Amino acid sequence: MPPWSKEIIDLYESGAASQFILHGNISDRVLIPKSAAGPERMGSLTEYLRESLLVKFDVVLAYDLGNGARVEKGGETFAQWPAWKDKTLPVAPREAVHVLSHYLRYCGNLARLKPERTVRVAVLIINAHLIVPPAQGSANYELSATASQLRDWATDPLITGGHCASFLLTENLNDLHPLLSNNPQSARVAVPLPGKDALGPALTHLGTLYPKPLAPFAADPSSIAAALAGATLHSIETMLQLRQHGGAELTQADLISIKKDLVEKDANGLIEFLKPDRTLDDLHGVEAIKTWLRQDIALWQQGELAAMPMGYLFCGPVGTGKTFLVECLAGEAGVPVVKMKNFRDRWVGSTEGNLEKIFRLLEALGRCIVFIDEADQALGRRNADSGDSGVSGRIYGMMAEQMSNSRNRGRILWALATSRPDLVEIDLKRPGRIDVKIPIFPTSSPAESYALTRALCKRKGLTLPDAMPEAVTPLMPSLLTPGAAEALAVKTFRILKTGTADPVAALTAALRDYQAPVPLEVIESQIRLAIAEATDLSFVPAMWRS
């Protein structure tokens, strides 16, 4: 039995709650254990609730917007209700909730007057966010009335007397009417994405249905469970069905790409995985930074989590390779890098719902690095006066809470990148959220610029001498970023392929009309901001410290 299921049982049997808002991974497949209703099988969450959690209930009713109200269990008992005998249950939300409320109160009165005839009844409201979404614009009395009646199921003593239970299923709490999502007498129970422990039994069962793809892991199913943690059971089962149909076995090498594809598909484009095919050895210079990061990785791998930072802030002028550094860090650590994409939405509540979905995924992934590029724009603002209906302020609050969750230390490592760290809210940069702030600078001398350009040219097969040639010396600029140096290397390669055959002459020609892609005053301003943010002066070259 999953932990969230045990939580519901404890809350209900103790009398602490009778209404449960199940949110999160509610549309996934669930392993339903063997019972009187049938053998072990995969099913929906509502089937699991009915066959495993609500076995002792006499009547189980359900309602969803498409199918209306219906009796899932105990039809003969429900038919004894005098007020609705031989009638058709309604489809429209307002009428359906009214009828269900009437029946719950009838059962409450029956239990009080004739305890020996007590009827235990449970009601499932499926996709509750479609029935009672947050009110938008002017007052919607019909919507508020429906939400108010559903709220009564958690507060009316006649309904909460120990014989009734109600379940509201919604993917995101922010998609639900605040009368319900903020009701302190309702228990909010998160249904997480399946982690390693939940996937183990499910994969053992799926192995009996699809033996061919899982044959290499039959002796040790825990290894594949750990590798696929974070993907939904539905997507895993679909993948196994296709492999079984094609007669193809899974291999250990397949698992990384399969997990990436499954998780990105389940996330509906809210995240993407960066391929960690680089290491810190691919990073030119910045030895102090590489030493610090390698020490953190060693602590991570040794399990010394108390010494691990909660997150990094990489700051510096545009083009200095902040994204490249994160990719190198991930490859060195050997963990997946999740990049948060554009989760903002124009619809009220959708942005917050997207963030909820991303956070659920991160909880299930295990150890990972979460990369947020352009952090000054993505993380929102404390003050909700930006004309966006308060969305920026709510994003800020949700991100601040998630980034400071100490339970994630050593599990989720935040990596923020920006050229304007002064625009990131101070509270988001404080220790406990971002413990290490690392500045990244352009080159500080023509010699450094030449060494960087030479290294990038070498990757393209161009061999330049170790020492800077005399013809290049007066032309080589300072304050060269890796982005600008890459463009210079491409230009040199182009000249080599279309003109001179001498690499030095090609570089000289490329430099002759070179113009910095970013104005000097902008670069210098961003350098000052990066220096001011640095956690440790060892990250700052001596020439910049003054």
Q: Which secondary-structure segment (H or E) carries 19?
A: strand 19-24
Q: Would residue 520 count as lying in a domain? A: no
* Residue 138 and residue 185 share a domain: yes
Specify whether 281 is located in the same domain as 407.
yes
Query: CATH number for the domain including 363?
Result: 3.40.50.300
Instruction: Write out pLDDT tens, residues 510-520.
Output: 998 888 888 88
In a domain, 95, yes or no: yes
**Looking at the structure, do residues 237 and 282 belong to the same domain, yes or no?**
no
Residues 480, 334 within the same domain:
no
Sign of the CA dihedral with 350 first, then 352, 356, and 357 last: positive
Q: Please report whether residue 546 resides in a domain.
A: no
Same domain, 122 and 248: no
Residue 328 to residues 162, 275, 391, Cα–Cα distance (Å): 57, 10, 33
pLDDT tens by residue, 236-254: 899 899 989 988 888 877 7
Is residue 159 predicted with pLDDT exceeding 60? yes
- HSE of 375, CA atoms in CB hemisphere, 13 A: 30
Higher pLDDT, 332 or 342: 332
Burial of 192 (0-12, 13-18, 19+ CB in 10 A): middle
Render pLDDT for 347-395 as a digit per residue (tens, 0 to 9): 656 777 888 888 888 877 777 888 988 888 877 777 655 555 667 777 8
Do 249 and 288 lie in one domain? The reply is: no
Give the domain-ending residue among 148, 164, 191. Answer: 191
For residues 28 and 85, membership in a common domain is answered with yes
Number of domains in the chain: 4
Say if residue 48 is in the same domain as residue 185.
yes
Q: Is residue 227 located within the same domain as residue 352? A: no
Section 468-482 average pLDDT: 90
Residues 376 and 436 in one domain: yes
Based on the domain organization, do 260 and 337 belong to the same domain? Answer: no
In a domain, 531, yes or no: no
Cα–Cα distances in angstroms (integers) from residue 518 to residues 111, 344, 418, 479, 481, in the given order? 77, 29, 16, 10, 10
Identify the pLDDT of residue 138. 60
Report yes or no on 535 lying in a domain.
no
Contact 423, 382 (CB under 8 A): no
Q: Which of 390, 425, 440 is the last residue of a domain?
A: 440
For residue 525, being part of any structural domain is answered with no
Assigned domain for 407 exists: yes
If asked whether residues 117 and 31 sit together in one domain, one would say: yes
- Of the three residues 440, 459, 479, the one that is the final residue of a domain is 440
The pLDDT score that the predictor gives to residue 348 is 56
Q: Does position 165 have pLDDT exceeding 70, yes or no?
A: yes
Residue 96's H or E segment, with its range, is helix 93-113
For residue 126 the two structure tokens come to: 């499926």
Domain containing 511 equals 446-515
Structure-block tokens of residue 424: 């990131």
Check residue 36 and give its pLDDT: 67
Per-residue model confidence (pLDDT) at position 388: 58
Q: Is 540 a domain residue?
A: no
The answer to whether the beta carbons of residues 277 and 331 sit under 8 Å apart is: yes
Q: How many CB atoms lie within 10 A of CB 227?
A: 20
pLDDT, mean of residues 42-48? 92
Query: Is the confidence at residue 189, as pLDDT, over 90?
Result: yes
Q: What pLDDT shows up at residue 219?
A: 76
